Structure 1
Amino acid sequence: MRPDSPNRKPDSSATDAQDPALLALLALGWILADGARADRLLALTGMDADTLRASVGEPQVLAAVLGFLADHEPDLIACAQAIDTSPAALIAAQERLIR
């Protein structure tokens, strides 16, 4: 699903060094693809759809998206698999975004 590697899996070092904002945006796309999961994201973060749209590029919003996944391990693992990265890379991206 990652746009930079349609026909091959990246090596883990390339994935771990991935831009945290890009990983968060890929994760957000995965979350929003499922209506129930998207509703849960909005409910747990306190955002509405308009707020999310308006602030999607802000580091704290992107970190909240990754925090949402970190708080539910099955989604964290499923998302990581779907976007060809590791759960650890998503957690590291969240940490870089909140610095």
Structure 2
Amino acid sequence: METNPNISEETEILALKALGWVLEDSERAQRLLALTGLDPRDLRSGLEDPAMLTSLLGFLANHEPDLLACAEAIDVEPARLAAAAEYLNNPGDFS
């Protein structure tokens, strides 16, 4: 997979791991789709799209129980997931 130059490699990897975690549970996946307005086609085609990854990480950042559970499952600090969401929202602030 080629990395989108507008997304840091670490952010992209975290987002993809988080997406995998979200999709492991059908109820959580349905909630993601309902709250973000994404559809399965968006998820498949948008793996390198900053807007889709922003929606995904924002979904987690806005629901602390999921953020904490996801961070534990993918073995990262919750703050790193929240920082990745912030980076995608404001990449110029991290230059």
In structure 1, the partner of 2:81 is: 90
Mapped to 1, the partners of 2:16 and 2:42 lie a distance apart of: 15
Q: Does 2:65 align with 1:74?
A: yes
- Give the ranges of 4+ consecutive aligned residues of structure 1 lying more than 2 Å apart after TM superposition: none
Unaligned segments of structure 1, at least 5 residues: 1-17
Matched ranges for 1:4-15 at <5 A = none
**Inter-partner Cα distance in structure 2 for 1:21 and 1:58:** 9
Letter in 1 for 2:86: E
Corresponding residue for 1:53? 44
TM-score normalised by L of structure 1? 0.78
* Contact kept? 2:71, 2:81, Cα under 8 Å: yes
For residues 70 and 44 of structure 2, the distance between their equivalents in structure 1, rounded to whole angstroms, comes to 21
SS in 2 for 1:19: helix
> What is the CA distance between 1:43 and its match in structure 2?
0.6
RMSD: 1.2
